[in-house]
A and B are shown apart, each in its own frame.
Chain A
C-alpha cells in the first residue's frame, strides 16, 4: 500500500485566497483525521471522519475552515479566506478502527503571506 497520500506537499498563497488540501487515506481504513502542526501549539486534531461522516469537528479553528469526505478514498480541508496565522503543516491520518494506530501522510506545508 502507498500509505496516506496528501497533496500538495507545499502551498504558498496570499492572504485572502482559498486553499484546498487533499488526502487519500489507506484503502480499507474507516477513520480519517486532519491535524495541524505548529511550533507553538504542537500537533492539534482539527476534525475526524468515520465512514465518510464527520464525527468531531471541535478542533476546527473557525468558520473559515471546512472539511469534506465525499467518498472513502478522498477528503479535502479547505480554508477560505486564508490568513497568515494559518501557516502550518497540515497532516492527514487514517486508521482501520476506533482504537487502532493512526498512520500519517507526509503533510502539506502551508505558507500564507
Chain B
C-alpha cells in the first residue's frame, strides 16, 4: 500500500548549523512531492515542492533532494534559525493523479540557541 514515513521523529540542531530532514516514500508512481512546515497552533505551511523529473530544487535557505532510485526525499535547511523550529511533513501525491496528498507522520525540528 501507499505510505510515507519519516526516519526520525525529532531532530535537534544548533542555531546556525544545517539541518537535514529525511523522508521515505513507498509509491514509485508518485510524481509530486511537497514539504510543509507546521508551527504550533497553525496549519501546515508550504515550503517547497519538487516533481519527479527533477532531483534537486532550491529555495531560500531550503533545498529539496529527490532520489527516485531509493524512494527518498530530503529537506535541507541552511543556517538553521530559531524560527525554523516546527514540525516538518513530507507529502506525496501517490498514484492515479487524484489530487490527494499522502502525508508522513512529521519530524519535529528543535533549534538550540
Complex contact A99–B106 (CB within 8 A): no
Contact indicator per residue, chain A 87-113, by CB within 8 Å of chain B (1) or not (0)? 000010101011101111111000000
Complex contact B100–A45 (CB within 8 A): yes
Q: How many residues of B contact A (CB 8 A)?
A: 21
Q: With A and B bound together, what is the CA distance between A106 and B44 in angstroms? A: 8
Chain B residues 1 to 60 lying within 8 A of chain A, measured CB to CB, are 31-32, 34, 36, 42-46, 49
Q: With A and B bound together, what is the CA distance between A98 and B94 in angstroms? A: 12
Q: With A and B bound together, what is the CA distance between A105 and B89 in angstroms? A: 16
Tally of contacts, chain A with chain B, CB under 8 A: 48
Q: How many residues of A contact B (CB 8 A)?
A: 22
Complex contact B42–A50 (CB within 8 A): no
Complex contact A98–B44 (CB within 8 A): no
Complex contact B42–A95 (CB within 8 A): no
Complex contact B99–A101 (CB within 8 A): no
Complex contact B34–A101 (CB within 8 A): yes
Q: Tell me which residues across on chain A come within 8 A of B85, comparing CB atoms.
A: none
Task: Name B102's closest neighbour in chain A (CB-CB).
Answer: A45
7 contacts between A and B (CB under 8 A): A31-B99, A97-B99, A98-B97, A99-B31, A99-B99, A104-B43, A104-B45
Interface residues of A (CB under 8 A from B): 4, 31, 42-43, 45, 48, 50, 55-56, 91, 93, 95, 97-99, 101-107
